[in-house]
Amino acid sequence: MTTKQTGSGTRQRGPSVPTRYDIVIVGSGSAAFSTAIAARRTGASVALVEQGRVGGTCVNVGCIPSKALLAAAEARHVASAGRFPGIRTEAHDVDMAALIAGKESLVATLRREKYEDLADLYGFDIVHGHGRFGAHDTLFVDGVPVVADHYVIATGATPWAPPLPGLDQVRYLTSTTVMELDHVPESLIVIGGNAVGLEQGQLFARLGARVTIVEALPRIAPFEEPEISEGLAGILGDEGITIEAGVRVTKALQEPDGVVVEVASSHGRRELRAAALVVATGRRPNTADLGLDTVGVEVGSRGDVVVDDELRTTNPRIFAAGDVTGHPQFVYVAGVHGGIVADNALSGAHRRVDYRTLPRVTFTSPQIAAVGMTDEEASQSGIDCECRVLSLAHVPRAIVARDTRGVAKIVAERGSGRVLGIHLLAEGAADAILAGVYALEANFTVDQLATMWTPYLTMAEAIKLAAQSFTRDVAALSCCAM
């Protein structure tokens, strides 16, 4: 392994002179930084190539800003809800410009502390410019070669809009640009009823907009358990959000005072009108203009870099990590990818990706969190399964919080009782699901889940109670009863 870099001093520079590194990463988001840090711990020389802002999706336009705004909207909603007797609160109008400025300040701080400063701390270069592969498996940054023994493509993904008639003539918003608004629209149509669309729809409804969520599939949160989709639809409806599921968007039209969206269903066609439109129909990998064809890197139909289970592309010197692979688009997946890529590229570790116990979270309120198989997935895999669905009306944490909206569901193999999946719709579900991850990792049965230690008055207790419901009536249990 040829090392030309000492790993000390300031690391940001322009590509003025050809330099050889052990590993060069195209991109500077979560997957890129995870790869770089893991590689530097082995003493390897590392450079990141970035043509825009350092930090990628999560810190700049994804997890951090969206969850910061969701927390603010939740605070306003709680102030207006009046759940507790004897407590009077009220919610005032939103100063959107101030809210966005606060979000930007938080993002800038975390970008500096968790990304930019780490280049100096770990000692790797950030090369600013556009990277494109060329002859002899070499990366060129603004035309200057930056040579490495191994390359990693970690360019992430960006919001994608479907080719709807008229959409290209509409001033629509994406999950990125909607978080830059300096005002709360009077009304908002959100196309897309999966995680991002649901989060953004509830966010702006709680800030004061009239929101309609449009989903082509028969239900919102279409890849979650039907009990969770139904429960969340009812909750959003109670908050004044209109759900239009099972409808196709056939046309969009810009008008002086807003946008018109034509939808079609088995009941015919009709028009929806709003002041603004958000398109939240997924994200597509950023692989255009990287010159991947010149170095023999295969790309899938959605622009994803095709990788094997060791995250190696069809060029043995080039790996890929994070959203650009088309794998589950979570920042923690990108982080794990980075460590795997560094080990496999630099030491031939042959580490593989395993998603069996990968959790997923949608940060609506209440949250959706799940790990493992759904009922349908288990059946499609030929597994004879049985399920239990527990209302949060039986969960003490939810009762004392005066918010029993939601359910817990466990999918188990019939006979053995092996837990196949755990699914939650609950406040605090994002934290509680970690217990489910550990249970699946340890191959727990429902009997083991039903008898494990669980702290009282926590949302994680919903998992234990759901497991107990396989063999008893939990409504007939006293508090903490086994």
Residue 409 sits in a domain whose CATH number is 3.30.390.30
| CB-CB contact of 311 with 340 (8 Å) | yes
Total domain count, the chain: 3
Is 481 part of a structural domain of the chain?
A: no
Ranges of residues in the chain with a pLDDT under 70 are 1-18, 480-482
Nearest to 285 by CA among 347, 328, 235: 328
Is 412 part of a structural domain of the chain?
A: yes
* Same domain assignment for residues 276 and 288: no
Distance CA 330, CA 334 (A): 7
* Same domain assignment for residues 139 and 19: yes
Question: In sequence order, what DSSP letters do the residues of 257-276 get, joined into one string?
Answer: TEEEEEEEETTEEEEEEESE
* Same domain assignment for residues 153 and 290: yes
- Radius of gyration over every alpha carbon of the chain, rounded to an integer in angstroms: 24
Residue 283: strand pairing partners: 159
Beta strand segments in 78-235, E: 125-128, 131-134, 138-141, 144-153, 157-159, 187-191, 210-215
Measure the CA dihedral 19/25/29/31, to 10°. Answer: -140
Give the model's pLDDT for residue 15.
45
* Same domain assignment for residues 324 and 412: no
Is 304 part of a structural domain of the chain?
A: yes
* Same domain assignment for residues 34 and 133: yes
Residue 427 sits in which domain range?
A: 359-473
Phi, psi of 414 (to 5 degrees): -65, 140
Give the model's pLDDT for residue 481.
63
Spatial strand order in the sheet of 187-191: 242-245, 210-215, 187-191, 276-279
Distance CA 231, CA 211 (A): 18
Q: How many other β-carbons are positioned within 10 Å of the β-carbon of residue 408?
A: 32
* Same domain assignment for residues 419 and 469: yes
* Same domain assignment for residues 179 and 326: no
| CB-CB contact of 161 with 167 (8 Å) | yes
* Same domain assignment for residues 151 and 17: yes
Give the model's pLDDT for residue 17.
45
Give the model's pLDDT for residue 82.
82
pTM over 0.85: yes
Each residue of 17-66: pLDDT tens digit? 447 999 999 999 999 999 999 999 999 999 999 999 999 999 999 999 99
Boundary (domain end) residue, out of 327, 347, 367: 347
* Same domain assignment for residues 259 and 386: no
